[in-house]
Amino acid sequence: MDKLLSRARRAAARANRRYALQKAEELKRRANESRKEHVAYQKLIANDRRKSRAEEKEDHRLGPLAPRRAVGKEELEQFGAFDQLRIIPPAVPEQHRIKYWNIVEKDRVVVLKGPDRHKIGVVKSLDKENNTVLVEGMNMVVLSSFVL
């Protein structure tokens, strides 16, 4: 009888270990998918910025002969600009979101990374779905030039 109970306990423990491994692999797979999506988004934005900077240089070189470029839904069909929804980052999965934020709007913060590092700014908004903070006047990038 003891052998039978011992075997049943070992089988249950093995099943629990197998289930925990499957669950861990599923979490790892989801994290990898999220990371790949984020990297693809970053590459897309970097390409858009690179293209926009090249267009801006070309517009400056051409002066009044520069083509008309714009950003937005109405101008999208007319001028071939990219949609502003591409600027919005993909949502961060629930398990990777920050649970407790110690920053609120109108706080003064110091930027620690990026081209604006060591600058002080005021928080304009928090995006808790994307784990991002919008700081007034920081990380300003020309995404497309607009000539009237």
> What span, in angstroms and rounded, lies between the C-alpha atoms of 141 and 52?
10
Residue 15's pLDDT is: 95
pLDDT band at 146 (very low <50, low <70, confident <90, very high): very low
Residue 63 in tokens: 């002066």
Q: Count how many Cα atoms sit within 13 Å of the Cα of residue 124 in the half-sphere of its side chain.
A: 5
What is the per-residue pLDDT across 37-71, written as a single tens digit (0 to 9) for each? Answer: 888 888 888 887 788 788 888 888 888 887 766 65
